[in-house]
């Protein structure tokens, strides 16, 4: 599906002459005349020009990057295509990759980052690893030293392929100009098809400078790579039978649903079977938060009811999720009573952490409707009712005091909830990593797909601000709210410069507790309150924002909060809302790492 979307865009983006050339490619060998015509149109171009043309042929109109010695020729080529190819100059290469991730996550398109050799490429590593963990389609183009200097410890040389191979779906070094078009075509196909992921193309400087004949053909097939396994009819039937017989089914929704654009297929499946569901953090916006079958979020800081019920259901239906340890807790005690059905596009996820009864390998957009056809309409009212007392307990012990505190310092959950309400759940919620991230995941209400951008697998602090910038480019018509902590913001705060330069309209909500809150929480719970290196002396964030021309406001009192949020959302342009929250807030519920998923701490608050 992702591929098809891109194809449409690419056709739009192609220049007239290239369109003829590409269409002509398919007819080659059949019509000699057509071939002659095409050859006449084929141009001799520099490697750099080929890179830009190839990107345009793939439908790319935005890229995030940072120039340097080994990519000057590519930036020079971009200079001629400013109208069609927008380059967003970031302030650090990590930001370029995170921005490309944010762009990809909200748009479903491939995010593209362009960085120089050596330090440029190594600065990009964190983002690449993050994209690998969260299956984000990315193409990262890095410059490389001239090919005759490779392996000689040349200036700004790093073994980019060696470093990135284990954290990419594919990494390839181009040393000759003739290989460029081929490599880029393959890169986009690999990044966007099947289970998406990051691809690195490392292009030697001489390949950028030399010239060759340019023609471009999109890759749609590689014999060594089968992105979408074909659905197996008997597995489809087995899955449906198991679900039809289930008295207490529970579905676990992961990001795979979003990546496969299978949200509507999922909804039809869940509604026909009357199956309650809960989401992983990354799966959250695949279904509306307010859906009657929605039982919340799974995992360490997820909701009590679905975690408890994971260990009570009779059939557990995992869809596009990978049973991460933050979701399952101790595997030895996880869902042992249940028959497990696993829908996933990636065979290597099957039986990786949880042994399954039925494996439905394939694209959820194809497999879910096939199973839905065999489903009997069910409602499971008694089973659904079983979740209620658990939810009430969580509400009484945790949620009420977090969202509607009676006095005291401002709470993180309270702020998230107010922003969510003020945007009517229509905004894109981007987060950094830590306590505020879990609070955002727990209390932001989603009504639209592709609305949560967060670093799930790698848990990268510093992700939020640049990813939010990318998200705004990926969805320019939507409000982008970036929730960050005081620790994470300072990891990539230089991207204020990007916001300033490109007038990126993002709303930054800084939940400042002057602590590295999540680590402090662990220190409080598990390290006898020995707060080693988690207290932070912070700058005046509003002044920093002001220096970049970003409007800001600091809120310390509850009475100001609603007005400040209104002001932020009403402001035309970027805005930093710093909210001073309680210093020693806790994220509850919490399943301590490695414990059984039913061993849930609720804290002392009443």
| Residue 12 · residue 55 · CB < 8 Å | no
How many other C-beta atoms lie within 10 A of the C-beta of residue 7? Answer: 14
- Give the nearest distance from C-beta 446 to other proteins in angstroms: 31
Nearer to other proteins, 49 or 157 (CB): 157
Residue 337 burial by Cβ neighbours in a 10 Å radius (0-12, 13-18, 19+): exposed
State how far the Cα of 282 lies from the Cα of 299, in Å rounded to an integer: 12
- Give the nearest distance from C-beta 65 to other proteins in angstroms: 24
Task: Find the catalytic residue in 109, 169, 186, 205.
Answer: 205
Nearer to other proteins, 49 or 179 (CB): 179
Nearer to other proteins, 125 or 270 (CB): 125
Give the angle subtended at the CA of 374 by the CAs of 368 and 376, to the nearest 5°: 110
State how far the Cα of 148 lies from the Cα of 152, in Å rounded to an integer: 9
Task: Find the catalytic residue in 5, 9, 28, 156.
Answer: 156
Residue 65 forms beta bridges with which residues? Answer: 89, 114
Q: Which tokens sit at 284?
A: 């959250």
- Give the nearest distance from C-beta 336 to other proteins in angstroms: 17
**Catalytic annotation present for 554:** no
**Catalytic annotation present for 496:** no
Nearer to other proteins, 23 or 247 (CB): 23
- Give the nearest distance from C-beta 221 to other proteins in angstroms: 5
- Give the nearest distance from C-beta 23 to other proteins in angstroms: 11
State how far the Cα of 560 lies from the Cα of 46, in Å rounded to an integer: 58
Nearer to other proteins, 66 or 170 (CB): 170
State how far the Cα of 250 lies from the Cα of 315, in Å rounded to an integer: 6
Distances (CA, A) of 116 to 48, 387, 509: 13, 53, 32
State how far the Cα of 436 lies from the Cα of 429, in Å rounded to an integer: 12
- Give the nearest distance from C-beta 330 to other proteins in angstroms: 18
Taking each helix axis from N to C end, the angle separating 16-27 and 32-41, rounded to the nearest 10 degrees, works out to 140
Q: Tell me the helix, strand and coil percentages in the chain, rounded to 5.
A: 45, 15, 35
Task: Find the catalytic residue in 287, 518, 568, 586.
Answer: 518
**Catalytic annotation present for 156:** yes
- Give the nearest distance from C-beta 396 to other proteins in angstroms: 43
Task: Find the catalytic residue in 42, 155, 376, 392.
Answer: 155
Contacts of 406 (CB under 8 A, 6+ apart): none
**Catalytic annotation present for 205:** yes
Task: Find the catalytic residue in 58, 93, 179, 414.
Answer: 93
Q: Which tokens sit at 512?
A: 């400042």
State how far the Cα of 135 lies from the Cα of 259, in Å rounded to an integer: 8
Residue 44 burial by Cβ neighbours in a 10 Å radius (0-12, 13-18, 19+): exposed
Q: Which tokens sit at 29?
A: 């060998």
Q: Is the dihedral of CA 348, 349, 355, 357 positive or negative?
A: negative
Nearer to other proteins, 224 or 606 (CB): 224
- Give the nearest distance from C-beta 281 to other proteins in angstroms: 24
Reported residue count of the chain is 606
Nearer to other proteins, 222 or 503 (CB): 222
- Give the nearest distance from C-beta 51 to other proteins in angstroms: 21
**Catalytic annotation present for 93:** yes
Nearer to other proteins, 192 or 492 (CB): 192
Q: What is the 3-state secondary structure (H, E, C) of 404-460?
A: CCCCCCECHHHHHHHHHHHCCCCCEEEECCCHHHHHHHHHCCCCCCCCEECCCCCCC
Nearer to other proteins, 339 or 359 (CB): 359
Residue 319 forms beta bridges with which residues? Answer: 253, 343
State how far the Cα of 498 lies from the Cα of 482, in Å rounded to an integer: 15
**Which residues of this chain interact with other proteins, rule CB under 8 A?**
26, 161-162, 165-166, 169-171, 173, 190, 220-226, 346-348, 350-352
Active-site amino acid positions: 93, 155-156, 205, 518
């Amino acid at each position: 599906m992702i591929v098809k979307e891109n194809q449409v865009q690419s056709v739009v983006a192609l220049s007239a002459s290239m369109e003829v050339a590409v269409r002509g490619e398919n007819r080659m060998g059949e019509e000699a005349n057509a071939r002659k015509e095409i050859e006449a149109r084929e141009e001799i171009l520099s490697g750099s020009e080929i890179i830009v043309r190839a990107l345009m042929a793939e439908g790319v109109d935005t890229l995030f990057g940072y120039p340097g010695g080994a990519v000057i020729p590519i930036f020079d080529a971009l200079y001629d295509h400013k109208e069609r190819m927008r380059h967003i100059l970031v302030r650090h290469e990590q930001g370029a990759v995170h921005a490309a991730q944010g762009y990809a996550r909200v748009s479903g398109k491939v995010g593209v980052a362009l960085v120089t050799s050596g330090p440029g490429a190594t600065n990009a590593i964190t983002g690449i690893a993050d994209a690998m963990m969260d299956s984000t389609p990315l193409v990262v183009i890095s410059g490389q030293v001239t090919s005759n200097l490779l392996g000689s410890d040349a200036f700004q040389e790093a073994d980019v392929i060696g470093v990135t191979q284990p954290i990419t779906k594919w990494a390839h070094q181009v040393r000759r100009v003739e290989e460029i078009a081929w490599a880029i075509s393959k890169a986009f196909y690999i990044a966007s098809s099947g289970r998406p992921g990051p691809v690195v193309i490392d292009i030697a400087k001489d390949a950028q400078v030399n010239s060759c004949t340019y023609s471009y053909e999109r890759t749609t097939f590689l014999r060594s790579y089968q992105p979408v396994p074909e659905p197996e009819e008997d597995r489809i039937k087995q899955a449906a039978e198991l679900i039809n017989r289930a008295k207490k089914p529970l579905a676990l929704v992961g990001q795979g649903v979003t990546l496969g654009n299978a949200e509507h297929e999922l909804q039809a499946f869940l509604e026909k079977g009357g199956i309650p569901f809960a989401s992983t953090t990354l799966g959250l916006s695949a279904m509306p938060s307010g859906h009657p079958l929605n039982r919340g979020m799974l995992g360490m800081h997820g909701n009590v009811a679905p975690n408890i019920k994971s260990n009570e259901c009779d059939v557990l239906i995992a869809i596009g999720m990978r049973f991460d340890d933050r979701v399952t807790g101790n595997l030895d005690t996880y869902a042992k009573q249940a028959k497990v059905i696993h829908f996933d596009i990636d065979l290597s996820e099957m039986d990786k952490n949880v042994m399954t009864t039925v494996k439905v390998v394939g694209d959820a957009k194809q497999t879910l409707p096939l199973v839905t056809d065999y489903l009997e309409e069910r409602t499971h009212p008694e089973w659904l009712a079983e979740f209620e007392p658990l939810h009430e307990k969580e509400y009484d012990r945790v949620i009420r005091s977090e969202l509607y505190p009676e006095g005291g310092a401002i709470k993180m959950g309270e702020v998230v909830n107010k922003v969510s309400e003020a945007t009517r759940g229509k905004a894109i919620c981007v987060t950094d990593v830590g306590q505020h991230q879990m609070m955002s995941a727990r209390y932001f209400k989603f009504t639209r797909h592709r609305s949560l951008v967060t670093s799930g697998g790698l848990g990268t602090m510093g992700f939020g601000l640049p990813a939010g910038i990318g998200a705004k480019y990926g969805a320019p018509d939507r409000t982008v709210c970036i929730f960050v902590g005081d620790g994470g913001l300072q990891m990539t705060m230089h991207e204020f410069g990007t916001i300033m330069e490109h007038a990126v309209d993002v709303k930054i909500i800084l939940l400042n507790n002057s602590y590295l809150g999540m680590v402090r929480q662990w220190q409080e719970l598990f390290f006898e309150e020995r707060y080693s290196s988690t207290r932070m002396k912070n700058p005046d964030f509003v002044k920093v924002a002001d220096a970049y021309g970003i409007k800001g406001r600091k809120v310390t009192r509850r009475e100001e909060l609603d007005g400040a949020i209104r002001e932020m959302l009403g402001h035309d342009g970027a805005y930093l809302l710093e909210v001073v929250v309680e210093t020693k807030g806790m994220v509850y519920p919490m399943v301590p790492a490695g414990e059984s998923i039913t061993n849930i701490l609720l804290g002392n608050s009443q």
